Amino acid sequence: MNTINREIKIFNNSQTFIEGWYWALPSRLLRPKQVKHITLLGRDLAIYRGENGKVVAVDAYCPHMGAHLAEGKVEGDEIRCFFHNWKFDANGDCIEVPCVGKPLGIKIQTWPTAEKYGMIWVWTGDTPKHPLPFAPELEFDDCDVALASRFTKNCHPNVVMINAIDANHFNTVHNLPLQIIFEKKELHENAITFSNTTRGGDDSLFIKLIRPFYQKAVTYSMCYWYGSTGTVTVGPDFFHFHIMFSLRLIEEGKTEGQTLLITKKRPGIFGWLFNRIILLLTWIVGNYFAKGDTKIFQTIKFDLKTPTKADTSITQFIKHVEKQKALHWHTWNDEKSSHEAPYQ
């Protein structure tokens, strides 16, 4: 077994995930005074939007008899259980027990939430340590967003993520006549970027035609968050496309993902129309690269037995994941995972 495999405990492990922000559902699907059930990383949650517009995520089951709180109703900014009408506020405190006439000092677990890029996100720990995922070039910009495909893959989110920095596959799968070299930069413990320079392609007429538009060193970059969400920035010097692939672990070590197309908001009706065109072009660009990789994700049994120099960025990403805080699937407990059958 090589050194990389001996070091892996978190990457591609079906029983663990990184503490961080994960997408729950599109914002437009949760109206004020509405509650929905979701299963996120093996844990059942009830997510509701209060009259004040804020989203609250709580553990799904009432501490009285275990009724599902998503079957209840939202009153103001609180949620009331359908079964015996116990009422909980946005902090999880039980504030009303009708049959007793007073609160019992009971509390349910709540989880931090936020909204960005048209999605509701849930932080899987107590206090968020880092921001929501974003495209680095658009960190301080208001953006227009289009939700593209929602998909499942027959492998772990970590494996789906490394595809975007698998330098050699751009030649073998996508037929790009270029040598791609990635340089990494860690933004913080939970975020890392890989940016590329390209070489070669002098024998390709297509590359010769477009090369004047790609004079800057960086023509493609990938920013990873919490090992499961990646933002792709790609395009010529004068204009960049931005695509976010937000993934989450589901049963049997597989992946459920949501694709988001992102561009900087532009003023006026012409800016709005221009952005619709840009988002459509972004969708076309994303589909071009995703199409060739789909069948790989349905059959791969990832095991990096023989890493080569071309896999350097992949091994760097694996080491980045291994340094992060791991939580257990379903329980969300902070503890070291048992290394039973990590590969799916």
Domain identity same for 247 and 176: yes
Element (H, E) at 191: strand 191-199
Domain identity same for 93 and 235: no
pLDDT at 230: 96
Residue 7 included in any domain: no
What is the pLDDT averaged over residues 251-256?
95
Domain hosting residue 266, numbered range: 136-328
Residue 225 included in any domain: yes
Residue 231 included in any domain: yes
Residue 340 included in any domain: no
- How far apart CA 143 and CA 57 sit, in angstroms, is 25
Domain identity same for 110 and 141: no
pLDDT at 171: 65
What is the pLDDT averaged over residues 15-32?
96
Domain identity same for 322 and 215: yes
Helices (H), 217-334: 268-299, 312-322
- Among residues 90, 123, 156, the one where a domain terminates is 123
Domain identity same for 205 and 301: yes
147: tokens are: 């939700």
Count of C-beta atoms within a 10 Å radius of residue 201: 16
CATH of the domain at 265: 3.90.380.10
- Among residues 76, 92, 123, the one where a domain terminates is 123
Percentage of the chain surpassing pLDDT 70? 85
On average, the pLDDT of the chain sits at 87
Residue 56 included in any domain: yes
The answer to which of 34-43, 53-62, 195-204, 317-326 has the lowest mean pLDDT is 195-204
pLDDT at 339: 42
Residue 20 included in any domain: no
Domain identity same for 304 and 155: yes
Could you read off the pLDDT of 141-172 as tens digits, one per residue?
Answer: 999 999 998 999 999 999 999 998 987 877 67
Contact partners, residue 220, CB within 8 Å, separation at least 6 = 180, 195, 196, 198, 232, 233, 234
169: tokens are: 């596959």
Does the pLDDT of residue 178 top 90, yes or no?
no
Cβ contact 290:280 at 8 Å: no
Domain identity same for 73 and 197: no
Domain identity same for 286 and 213: yes
Domain identity same for 158 and 232: yes
Domain identity same for 147 and 82: no
Count of C-beta atoms within a 10 Å radius of residue 294: 10
- Among residues 96, 123, 150, the one where a domain terminates is 123
pLDDT at 192: 96
Residue 284: what are its φ and ψ, rounded to 5°? -65, -45
What is the pLDDT averaged over residues 95-113?
90
Domain identity same for 57 and 203: no
CATH of the domain at 34: 2.102.10.10
The band of 334, judged by pLDDT with boundaries at 50, 70 and 90, is confident
Could you read off the pLDDT of 51-88 as tens digits, one per residue?
Answer: 999 999 999 999 999 999 999 999 999 999 999 999 99
- The total domain count for the chain is 2
Domain identity same for 62 and 203: no
CA distances from 170 to 167, 173, 180, 202, 222 (A): 6, 6, 8, 16, 14
